[in-house]
Structure 1
Amino acid sequence: MVLLIVAHGSRDARHAATVAALRARVAARRPGLRVEAGFLDFCAPRVEEVLAGLAAEGVRKVVAVPLLLTRAFHAKSDIPAVLAGATSALPGLTVRQAAVLGPSALLTAALERRLYEAGVRPGDRGSTGVVLASAGSSDPEANAVIADIAREWRHTGWCAVRPAFASASPPRTEDAVRALRAEGVRRVAVARYALAPGRLPDRIAEGARAAGAEVLTEVLGAAPEVVSLLVRRYEQAAEAAAA
């Protein structure tokens, strides 16, 4: 069986570089498991090309793991359509779509890792307000997941956690930062809930700086927790297929 990481793709070269790093780290974590990566748009190779190449080599079973943090339009529509189209054109190839990465406690741990790397100390939790800033979606279900994560995360000791979105839905990052200031929070950290650099993560950073946030994290990238989660989603799907 092959693990295929399915990424959205971006014109920003940093996106493809991040996907390549994740693919390499997943392969290193699971020696003996073949790990490939394909993109829906903008980058090469496309998912269809990867699947066609695997079928030509005689591969018969693939688990496709969406490199997505929420189950929004791409997970519900784009990826199933691409996988269905590819498999209908490739008799003998079976592709099982795994669950998206989030929500997960591992992702929350990765967010905290990035906060500490950006300068927040464990003892700062009670005096620091966090803006959980994601790309945003036109799918209300996906945005509701981000709001739920923010509510749950606050219970771990942060003085406040607010969701924010770079597109499609308010509040924007800068508005969430200013709202925390209005509540009396002195130190605000913006945690970028994004897997790879690109236009929307850059927009989050611009909003954080414009509103004067003291801390801005890097994207999650190839954090160990993300690697572990990719492997877990593959294993869950592979076990379900075997059952």
Structure 2
Amino acid sequence: MPKTALILFAHGARDPEWAEPMRRVCACLHEQAPDRRVELAFLEFMKPELRACAESLLAEGFERIVVLPMFIARGGHLKRDLPLLLDELRRCHPQALFELGAAIGEAESVVQAMARHALALVDG
């Protein structure tokens, strides 16, 4: 089984507080699965960017990198930008396996959690 890491991939923003929910998800993963390697990377405005994060993991001996987009839905960045970034990584590192997950907001469990939260807000 190849040595595997997970990268939570978020858009990024100029306001550093914007990334707090993603940092919380990353921290929860570290608590729930301390033996797994989980990192957070960004498309723009924040560091590390995806390429730097992936190359750092490869330098540590990880052979398989799963990229999970921390986006509500699959828009232009996930349809165009991310595939180009992954294609470049695959060309530069043909020995590594890069896998792309669906946008987290498209997972049924996440949709259901958002619906429960919305109802709880309305119901007080």
**Structure 2 length-normalised TM:** 0.85
Q: Distance in 1 between matches of 2:12 and 2:115?
A: 22
Q: Is the counterpart of residue 59 in structure 1 residue 49 in structure 2?
A: no
> How far off its partner does 1:27 sit?
2.2
May I ask how many residue pairs the two structures share in their alignment?
120
Q: Distance in 1 between matches of 2:41 and 2:110?
A: 24
Q: Distance in 1 between matches of 2:109 and 2:100?
A: 21
SS at match of 2:85: helix
> How far off its partner does 1:30 sit?
2.3
Q: Residues 105 and 91 of structure 1: is their aligned pair in 2 closer, same or farther, counting only changes over 3 Å?
A: closer
SS at match of 1:3: strand
SS at match of 2:45: coil
Letter matched to residue 61 of structure 1: R
Name structure 2 gaps, 5 residues minimum.
none
> How far off its partner does 1:45 sit?
0.4
RMSD: 1.8
Q: Percent identity?
A: 28
**Structure 1 length-normalised TM:** 0.46
Answer with 1 or 2: which has the greater Rg: 1
Q: Distance in 1 between matches of 2:44 and 2:76?
A: 14
Residue 42 of structure 1 is aligned with which of 42, 45, 67? 45
Letter matched to residue 14 of structure 2: R
Higher RCO structure, 1 or 2 (CA under 8 Å, sep 6+): 2
Deviation string, structure 1 residues 106-147 (Cα, Å, up to 9, x no partner): 32323432552x4x327xxxxxxxxxxxxxxxxxxxxxxxxx
Aligned match of 2:23: 20
Segments of 4+ moved more than 3 angstroms: none
